Amino acid sequence: MTTGARRHPAERTPAAAARPTRGSRTVALPGLPNVRDSAGLPGPDGARLRSGVLYRGPAPSPLTAPALDDLGIRTVVDLRTAFEQGIEDGPAGMRARLLRRPVGGNMSRIRGVRRPPPSAYLFNYRSMLTLAAPVAVEIIGLLAEPDQDPVYVCCTVGKDRTGVVSALTLRGLGVRLAAVAGDYSLTGRAYRALGPQDPRPQWSYEGSLEELQIRTASPAWTMRSLITGIEDEHESVARYLERQHGLSPKTRLRAVRRVFEHHAPRRERHDAD
């Protein structure tokens, strides 16, 4: 998909205040349909990720960026190329610290194909690991410190590059594999929910809504296969990030202690005898 300069009418108004969608981790932001909080994802020993620590989604335009500021984002990790950033550089106008970390892969099996199969995306994801893994290491380092989060990870769509970096980060912290793959699959659901009149990212208006929804399909199998392949070879994603990309075990442990919380089990109430 290419980035267009045409602006949807809904983007001409100031961004509305961020609001969580009831019953989900999705944050409803007009013009940014795929923003979500990693809150509640299950980790080690029954712990769950805290709310307001790690967000993911598409890169904002200058008009939608203020809505992300409303979330209190402190660090933005922008995975787009310099060319993409030059066309639409909303993150540069945010109050948050901006980290430009371009990530790319081999899209030869995707370009020019109307409906690429999941295996084509898996091929692309595997090819971007050498660039994506160091970014995941850096994000885990940010989460280990008290003054760097919330962190917002973004690319053009918030699906491929953001999906891989987020998955490596989450799995590296110990989030369960099924939850990591399920989180990736929510991107497709978010874009399928868009109607013809719903505001969407500015860059997406050159193509049809149908094309956007085809390109953002995200079956959990794809991410599960990527992570399983890494773990078959390296024992775990944490070991892969430590041995191949310099993640400090102490930094990882600090991050785990900061981002997870344990919820006390609910006690059943009984009437007195």
Dist. CA 105–CA 131, nearest whole Å: 9
Confidence band for 200, pLDDT divided at 50, 70 and 90: confident
- What pLDDT score was predicted for residue 88? 76
- What region, left, alpha or beta, does residue 175 occupy, with left being phi > 0 and alpha being psi -120 to 50 degrees? beta
In the chain, the largest separation of any two C-alpha atoms, in whole Å, equals 72
Scan for tokens 């990530």, then name that residue.
103
State residue 99 phi and psi, 5-degree precision.
Answer: -110, 115
- What pLDDT score was predicted for residue 202? 66
- Angle (CA) 115 214 26, round 5°: 150
- Can you tell me the mean pLDDT for 229-250? 98
What is residue 66's three-state secondary structure? helix
Scan for tokens 């949807």, then name that residue.
8
Dist. CA 162–CA 168, nearest whole Å: 10
pLDDT digits (tens, 9 = 90+) for 55-109: 999 999 888 899 999 999 999 999 999 988 887 788 888 999 999 999 999 999 9
Give Cα 240 distance to the centre of its chain: 20
Q: What is the pTM of this model?
A: 0.88
Give Cα 187 distance to the centre of its chain: 9
- Name, in order, each residue with C-beta under 8 angstroms of 60's C-beta and a sequence gap of 6 or more: 31, 32, 67, 68, 90, 91, 94, 154
Strands 75-78 and 97-100: parallel
pLDDT digits (tens, 9 = 90+) for 116-153: 999 999 999 999 999 999 999 999 999 999 999 999 99
Structural domains of the chain ordered from first start: 34-259 (3.90.190.10)
Question: Nearest-CA neighbor of 57 among 86, 13, 94?
Answer: 94
Confidence band for 51, pLDDT divided at 50, 70 and 90: very high
- What pLDDT score was predicted for residue 90? 86
| pLDDT at residue 33 is higher than 60 | yes
